């Protein structure tokens, strides 16, 4: 058993002062005032939070410090419809980005295939710490990546095949979903293609629609309505322009990365004001890194930008803790409470400030990072 004495604890819902936490590898056993209990070691934290969760990431699929071929398994850009793919089969657990993410307090990621294909494939939820991918695995497959943006057009225009327009892209998504519906009614012969889409059609899995522009967001919403999908809008850089449509469907937005160079027209509206407006308008928002386009290690700094824009501090911290945990269906990982198996991050200051440092990280009750020790 270990003890943490925290000056402040953000428990996934609100910030509390002067709390003591007892935990081990089985989970969290006590959250409250100090108790007399034999412990192996006691730690102190200025600020204690749940481990941060990155809801949209390519970590392990597109590795750091490697070239365009070796270490890049993000996009299977040979066929625009690839629902059969599973991120777990491409993740390299020895990607240098994993320990860096943990150093930044990011302990879990939803790793999704890239956005080059109209349907990119299924994701995997993993711990960012472990000796191998089986040890890191939380659940897989989870989440189907749909891409409603310019990327599929640009990818397949070079190959002179569909899609080269937004119409063609939407058609390919509908075509696959219709085929999967018909397959369900009359399964004469097993097909991994159609079988892979059954989870989203049955609402047992979530559909992640990667859309930047407002018109692409509404296309994603229309397709979701047609097939009654449980949808998350990924990125959503013009989401504030269609906030009413998002809100009335109760669709969450996995927004980000906020810190991104505006290299394409799709990014021209991107600003920190957009997620702030979405939150103010009643939309459920999680902040994401979109790693490697923004390093997962610095996910928490985006929270500081939200706070700067007037978002209440606890509400901002929820965007990388309890909100993504709920979307992923792993609520216990987003809240520090008795009985949960939440990871723990100890800070020497407030988490959203650049001068604050992560002192220690505990994942599954084990020390995964210590600032006093080499990585």
- CATH number of the domain to which 124 belongs: 3.20.20.140
pLDDT of residue 30: 95
Domain presence at residue 328: no
| Nearest Cα to Cα of residue 287 among 338, 350, 352, 231 | 352
Phi, psi of 171 (to 5 degrees): -60, -45
Q: Which pLDDT does position 203 carry in this prediction?
A: 97
Pair (66, 147) in one structural domain: yes
- Angle, alpha carbons 247-249-254 (nearest 5°): 65
Give the three-state DSSP class for 81: strand
Place of tokens 């929820």: 318
> Before 118, cis peptide (omega within 30)?
no
**209 CB-contact burial (10 Å; exposed 0-12 / middle 13-18 / buried 19+):** buried
Question: Do 196 and 256 share a domain, yes or no?
Answer: yes
My answer on whether 227 and 93 are in the same domain is yes
What is the domain-level CATH number for residue 30? 2.30.40.10
Give the strand pairing for 15-24 and 27-32: antiparallel
Per-chain mean pLDDT for the chain = 96
pLDDT of residue 65: 74
φ/ψ of residue 331, rounded to 5: -55, -35
Residues 39 and 70 in one domain: no
Residue 329 lies in a domain: no
Residue 330: inside a domain: no
Region 172-179 average pLDDT: 98
Residue 129 has pLDDT above 80, yes or no: yes
| Helix extents (H) in the chain | 97-103, 133-136, 151-157, 166-185, 192-196, 198-201, 214-227, 243-248, 273-280, 299-308, 313-318, 322-328
Provide the β-strand partners of residue 32.
Answer: 20
Is residue 105 included in any domain, yes or no?
Answer: yes
Task: Flag whether pLDDT at 67 surpasses 90.
Answer: no
Does residue 375 register a pLDDT over 60?
no
Torsion of CA 261, 59, 145, 167, to 10 degrees: 30
151: pLDDT strictly greater than 70: yes
Per-residue pLDDT, 26:
94
273 and 258 in contact (C-beta within 8 Å)? no
361 and 236 within one domain: no
Q: Residues near 111 by Cβ (< 8 Å), separated by ≥ 6?
A: 57, 58, 59, 60, 61, 87, 88, 91, 123, 124, 125, 126
| Domain identity same for 128 and 13 | no
Separation of alpha carbons 362 and 105, rounded Å: 9
Q: What is the DSSP letter of 51?
A: P
Residues 28 and 75 in one domain: no
40 phi and psi, to 5 degrees?
-70, -40
- 20 and 128 in a single domain? The answer is no
CA-derived radius of gyration, the chain: 21
Task: Give dist(CA 146, CA 122) in Å, integer.
Answer: 9
**Residue 150, pLDDT above cutoff 60:** yes
Residue 97 has pLDDT above 60, yes or no: yes
Is residue 316 in some structural domain?
Answer: yes
Same domain, 121 and 266: yes
Residues 348 and 307 in one domain: no
pLDDT of residue 69: 67
Is residue 187 over pLDDT 90? no
Cα gap 333→353, rounded to integer Å: 23
pLDDT at 253: 99
Q: What is the mean pLDDT of residues 151-175?
A: 97
Q: What is the pLDDT of residues 289-344, one digit of tens each?
A: 999 999 999 999 999 999 999 999 999 999 999 999 999 999 999 999 999 999 99
Query: Are 237 and 310 found together in one domain?
Result: yes
**3-state SS assignment for residue 24:** strand
CA 226 to chain centre: 25
Position 36 confidence tier, pLDDT thresholds 50, 70, 90? confident
Say what the pTM is: 0.96
CA separation for the pair 266, 262 (Å, rounded): 8
Residue 329 near residue 337 (C-beta atoms within 8 A): no
Alpha-carbon distance of 73 to 118, in angstroms, equals 17
Domain around 134: 52-320
Flag whether 158 is in a domain.
yes
Residue that wins the pLDDT comparison between 353 and 38: 353
Nearest CA among 103, 4, 108, 59 for reference residue 356: 103
Domain co-membership, 316 together with 339? no
> 269 burial class (0-12, 13-18, 19+ CB within 10 angstroms)?
middle
Structurally, how many domains does the chain consist of? Answer: 2
Q: Are strands 207-211 and 137-147 parallel, antiparallel or unpaired?
A: parallel
- Contact in structure between 74 and 114 (CB atoms under 8 Å): yes
């Amino acid at each position: 058993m270990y003890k943490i004495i925290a000056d402040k604890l953000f428990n996934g819902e609100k910030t509390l002062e002067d709390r003591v936490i007892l935990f081990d590898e089985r989970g969290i056993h006590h959250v409250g005032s100090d108790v007399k209990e034999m412990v192996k070691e006691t730690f102190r934290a200025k600020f204690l939070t749940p481990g941060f969760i990155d809801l949209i990431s390519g970590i392990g699929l597109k590795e750091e410090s490697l070239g365009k071929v070796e270490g890049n398994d993000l996009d299977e850009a040979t066929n625009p419809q690839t629902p059969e793919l599973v991120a777990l089969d491409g993740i390299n657990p020895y990607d240098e980005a994993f320990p860096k993410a943990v150093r930044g307090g990011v302990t879990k990621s939803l790793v999704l295939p890239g956005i080059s294909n109209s349907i990119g494939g299924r994701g995997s939820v993993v711990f960012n710490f472990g000796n191998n991918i089986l040890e890191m695995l939380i659940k897989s497959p989870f989440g189907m990546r749909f891409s409603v943006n310019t990327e599929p057009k640009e990818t397949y225009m070079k190959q002179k095949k569909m899609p080269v327009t937004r119409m063609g892209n939407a058609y390919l998504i509908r075509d696959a979903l219709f085929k999967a519906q018909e397959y369900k009614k009359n399964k004469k012969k097993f097909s991994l293609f159609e079988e892979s889409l059954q989870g989203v059609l049955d609402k047992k899995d979530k559909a992640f629609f990667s859309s930047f522009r407002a018109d692409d967001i509404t296309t994603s919403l229309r397709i979701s309505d047609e097939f009654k999908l449980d949808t998350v809008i990924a990125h959503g850089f013009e989401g504030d322009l269609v906030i009413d449509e998002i809100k009335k469907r109760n669709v969450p937005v996995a927004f980000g990365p906020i810190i991104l160079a505006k290299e394409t027209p799709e990014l021209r509206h991107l600003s920190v004001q957009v997620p702030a407006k979405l939150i103010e308008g009643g939309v459920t928002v999680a902040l994401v890194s979109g790693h490697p386009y923004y390093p997962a290690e610095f996910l928490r700094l985006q929270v500081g930008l939200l706070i700067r824009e007037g978002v209440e501090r606890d509400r901002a911290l929820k965007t990388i803790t309890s909100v993504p945990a709920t979307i992923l269906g792993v609520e216990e990982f987003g809240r520090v409470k008795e009985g949960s198996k939440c990871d723990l991050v100890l800070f020497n200051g407030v988490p959203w400030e650049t001068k604050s440092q992560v002192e220690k990280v505990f994942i599954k009750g084990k020390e995964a990072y210590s600032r006093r020790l080499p990585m």
